[in-house]
Amino acid sequence: MNRPPVAHLWHLAINVRDVELMERFYADVMGFRTEWKPDPDNVYMTTGKDNLAIHRGEAGAETRLAHFGLVVARAEDVDTWAAWIRKHGVALETEPRTHRDGARSFYFRDPEGNVIQLIHHPPISPAVP
């Protein structure tokens, strides 16, 4: 049996301590909108083409997520995002840089320490409107 290809990774779920803080960060700083909030422990957010599920984790539980990437259409968008992130008082983990494969990216953390990579990646960025 042949395995069908995976088209995209358009859904990510993270466990957090403070659902309200994380919802505000992803809305106010990152531009996501709340799609559905079934209860105080869960919120589902979107940019209109993906889904970020935020769940209240168990007390003391730590995430094992290394990082997740948000793709932008153009390499110069990476630098614009870096300035935007700094403007909101969020420190960058790394400065924007161009990688050997032509990708350009930087890393930063959300309020609970999850690492986010803002990336222009030539093979997939053309699909970003």
* Tens-digit pLDDT profile for residues 3-27: 757 677 788 999 999 999 999 999 9
Total count of domains within the chain:
2
Query: Is there a single domain that holds both residue 88 and residue 46?
Result: no
pLDDT at 84 over 80: yes
Domain end, chosen from 43, 59, 75, is at 59
Query: Is there a single domain that holds both residue 44 and residue 86?
Result: no
* CATH number, domain containing residue 17: 3.10.180.10
Domain end, chosen from 59, 84, 100, is at 59
106 contacts 94 by C-beta, under 8 angstroms:
yes
- d(CA 119, CA 104) in angstroms, rounded, equals 6
Domain end, chosen from 11, 30, 59, is at 59
**What confidence category does residue 125 fall into, taking pLDDT thresholds of 50, 70 and 90?**
confident
For residue 51, the enclosing domain spans 1-59
Ordered strands of the 11-16 beta sheet: 11-16, 51-56, 42-46, 33-39
